[in-house]
Amino acid sequence: MRLIATEEAYAPTEYVKRYLELTKTVDTAPTRYLGMYYGKPEMARQLTDLDLRIEEMDRLGVDMHLLGITAPGVQAFDAGLGTELAIMANDALAGEIARRPDRFAGLAAVAPHAPEQAARELKRAITELGFNGVIINSHTHGEYLDDPKFWPIFEAAVACDTPIYLHPNFPSEAMIKPYADYGMMGALWGFGADASLHVVRMILGGVFDAFPDLKIVLGHLGEGLAFWLGRLDNRYQNLLRRGGLEPLGMKPLAKLPSDYFRNNFYLTTSGMMTQPPLDLCLQMFGDDRIMFAVDYPFEQTAEAVAFVRALPYEAEKMAKLTHLNAERIFGIAPAATARKDAE
């Protein structure tokens, strides 16, 4: 069956170089952590070398990668350099995709800390370079997208009818201390904790009342939120009933928190390779909003592919999960000579 992986990390060589330079001057827990990854020649090669990647995709039966610049992306830099690197990375990635449009699609980088330029770059990337969406790596220097100063980015995304992949980042400086032990600041725990916080901030901050057509994609089967939606609704309604919103600085919403999650969010399976959470998400959100992802090169493609191929779902659900949803949500053309689903 045609397999499109939708959260696949990429970095132009220039970006890796700039990031390693940054790690020499900025000594924070996240730069140390990532310096460990990017400083390894093998990881740097996996991120930058698309021929190496295609060899693995061919060997393991992955047809396409939806590539996004690896976390924390250009958001690690200041707004000026971030904007410059986003344009550089998007031009580089667009060139690679143009060489092999049957194997690669792309998520554009933007520097949210320069919101007007980010909105312009989003429009350029979608309308001129042919990108399939945008990737934002959670907070930017501790600021989250519920802040209206970032909303020009949402306006542009809605105007272009393109999804934003809200990818995790390390917990912000204000939160990171208790995560800094036991390797907890990264994918093990801190990424999901920060990304889910980000989503709840956006929902309660009224982002989706202001932008009812905004589409957000989350990895890791929704960063744990499927499990938590009932409680969000319950507590929100409880506060509403008791007149508790205003004293807490909260705004009344047009809908329940879970309604926004069901209407505005799409999920991928990146890094999640056990069936019960996927069953839960399918039961809660249906089979039109969930897509396959690996999270190359941080997760093992062989494991992710083995997981998805062994799922016991009927053919239609499998086709949606493995490629049809990704084609629809990210505007990826069905392969002219797609491998037959029966294969």
* Chain center to CA of 121: 18
Give the span between the Cα atoms of 322 and 174, in whole angstroms.
38
* Shortest distance in whole angstroms from residue 101 CB to Mn ion: 22
Helix axes 41-48, 29-38, angle to 10 degrees: 80
Give the span between the Cα atoms of 342 and 315, in whole angstroms.
9
> What's phi and psi for 124, nearest 5 deg?
-60, -45
Q: Which residue has the tokens 């830099």?
A: 77
Question: Cβ-closest residue to Mn ion?
Answer: 295
* Shortest distance in whole angstroms from residue 244 CB to Mn ion: 37
Q: What is the dihedral of CA 98, 101, 104, 107, to 10 degrees?
A: 60
**Of 59, 56, 74, 99, residue with least CA distance to 16:** 74
**Of 326, 253, 296, residue with least CA distance to 50:** 296
* Shortest distance in whole angstroms from residue 55 CB to Mn ion: 21
The window from 3-11, 48-56, 123-131, 306-314 that contacts Mn ion (CB under 5 A) reads: 3-11
The window from 4-12, 44-52, 102-110, 170-178 that contacts Mn ion (CB under 5 A) reads: 4-12
* Chain center to CA of 232: 22
Query: 295 an active-site residue?
Result: yes
**Of 330, 178, 339, residue with least CA distance to 268:** 330
* Shortest distance in whole angstroms from residue 307 CB to Mn ion: 16
* Shortest distance in whole angstroms from residue 69 CB to Mn ion: 11
Nearer Cβ to Mn ion (135/253):
135
Q: Give yes or no for residue 295 binding Mn ion (CB under 5 A).
A: yes
Give the span between the Cα atoms of 214 and 163, in whole angstroms.
7
DSSP state of 181: S
Q: Give yes or no for residue 223 binding Mn ion (CB under 5 A).
A: no
Of the residues 58, 233, 295, 341, only one is catalytic, namely 295
Q: Give yes or no for residue 299 binding Mn ion (CB under 5 A).
A: no
The window from 1-9, 26-34, 112-120, 128-136 that contacts Mn ion (CB under 5 A) reads: 1-9
Q: Which residue has the tokens 């959670």?
A: 138
- List active site positions: 295
List of residues contacting Mn ion (CB under 5 A)? 7, 295
